[in-house]
Structure 1
Amino acid sequence: MKAITYQGANKPPQLSEVPKPETQKPTDAIVKLKYSTICGTDLHILKCDVPTIPVGGIMGHEGVGTIASVGAGVHSFKEGDNILISCITGCGTCHYCKKGMNSHCETGGWCLGKQSDGTQAGYVRIPNAENCMYKTPAGVDEKALVMLSDIFPTGFDCGVLNGKVAPDRL
């Protein structure tokens, strides 16, 4: 399959031929991407402000797609479901996830396009799929919906949670 891959600090990314991902854990899903975006974080990666992505790693952490397959531990989704992928892949069970801090998850967090291959590809493996994918309603503009994959979670995590926004604090 084709994917946008990281080529090193201050080097342009490259369209590369890479293997299609497979599930690695029962909690994984494989998603066929329809739409992905380029985020400001990708610019940080290209400047080498995020040194964890290896040369040749697939970039991207946002997306909308269709589930191609699910691991045995994924029960809320099935092949053919149209989904929105959250840029944060929280496990839901670690200390941080239980505190509502999914971006700091011990087995996920922001891992797509950083510690694991990202969404700027034909297919992507989604770890902790039960906790970071959302079924998309029929008739919704998926090109617009993809913006909720990163902008909304970032705004929620950084703005609402860190700002301690609550109904009684508006």
Structure 2
Amino acid sequence: MNPTDAIIRVDAVTICGTDLHILSGDVPEVQAGRVLGHEAVGTVTEVGAAVSTVRPGDRVLASCISACGRCRFCRQARYGQCLGGGGWILGHQIDGVQAELALVPFADLSTYTLPDDVSDEAALILADVLPTAYVGIDRGDGTAGHPGATQW
């Protein structure tokens, strides 16, 4: 474990379409035997010496995107393009969260403490599916009448 990492006990997890693509062989760079998953809610069990935003016992959302916080993209809040070892790495380049315990790199920017009144299941949509939908609407043509557009 690196000083910027945390280990979480996974309390709730879900599967993503990306995991299904990996299983069907559409993401060949993922090594056989890799623990999949990048959407989870968990309880912090251990933190590295440099982690300052979460501590053992905190209930957190593990982000689908890890961010080093130092590279030029992270400084611009473009975490998906992280050049410092982040980006989509959980379940892709390192073992993911479909496990009892998971290592979350760069915990200060890759975990988010959850309020007690937010259920694990409600929080899970914030890990990947809701941000993905938001980006699709924000960057796509979400106007009425456009194929696939949602009527608001």
TM range (shorter): 0.7 to 0.9
In structure 2, give the amino acid aligned to 1:149. Answer: A
1:4-153 matches, within 5 Å, as: 23=1, 25-106=2-83, 107-153=85-131
In 1: Cα distance, 2:135 partner to 2:72 partner: 16
- Counting matched residue pairs gives 140
Q: Name 2:146's counterpart in structure 1.
A: none
SS of structure 1 residue aligned to 2:112: strand
Give the direction of change, closer, same or farther, for the CA distance of 1:158–1:93 in structure 2 (3 Å limit). farther
Q: Name 1:14's counterpart in structure 2.
A: none
In 2: Cα distance, 1:130 partner to 1:49 partner: 31
Q: Is the 8 A contact 1:33 1:65 kept in 2?
A: yes
Deviation track 1:106-164 (CA, whole Å, cap 9, x = no partner) reads 1110000000000000000000110011100012111121111111332345543x46x
Query: Which blocks of at least 5 consecutive residues in structure 2 are unaligned?
Result: 141-152
In 2: Cα distance, 1:145 partner to 1:127 partner: 20
Q: Is the 8 A contact 1:90 1:102 kept in 2?
A: yes
Which sits farther off after the overlay, 62-71 or 139-148? 139-148
In 2: Cα distance, 1:129 partner to 1:158 partner: 26
Query: Which blocks of at least 5 consecutive residues in structure 1 are unaligned?
Result: 1-22, 164-170
Give the direction of change, closer, same or farther, for the CA distance of 1:158–1:94 in structure 2 (3 Å limit). farther
In 2: Cα distance, 1:98 partner to 1:157 partner: 19
Cα RMSD of the aligned pairs, angstroms, is 1.6
